[in-house]
Amino acid sequence: MTKSAIGSFAIIFGGICLSLELYALKFIQSLEFNTGSANLYPLDYATEAPMSIALIISISIIIYGISLSRSKSDSKK
């Protein structure tokens, strides 16, 4: 596989992970509404340490995939 193909897969994988995390934020908010203590916006949960680390990892995977897909040094045989 070439670097650009791996980069494309990394972009897709990072995008899927990021979208699942954003849906999980909304799910966490709905669970906490039942207990009575919830943040008003789902992205307020992103400031907590575990969620912010997960978001940073997903965004870094996407950036790494972009850098691989734009790489000019693909070896074609």
- Residue 9 is predicted with a pLDDT of 92
Q: Is 77 a domain residue? A: no
Indicate the pTM of the whole model.
0.74
**31 found inside a domain:** yes
Tokens of 40: 């008003």
Q: 37: domain range?
A: 3-69
Residue 60 banded pLDDT, cuts 50, 70, 90: very high
CB 52, CB 46: distance < 8 Å: yes
In a domain, 43, yes or no: yes
Question: Coil, strand, or helix at residue 37?
Answer: coil
For the chain, the domain total comes to 1
Distance CA 22, CA 9 (A): 20
Q: Is 74 within a domain? A: no
pLDDT-wise least confident of 5-9, 14-18, 37-41 = 37-41
Q: Is residue 76 part of a domain?
A: no
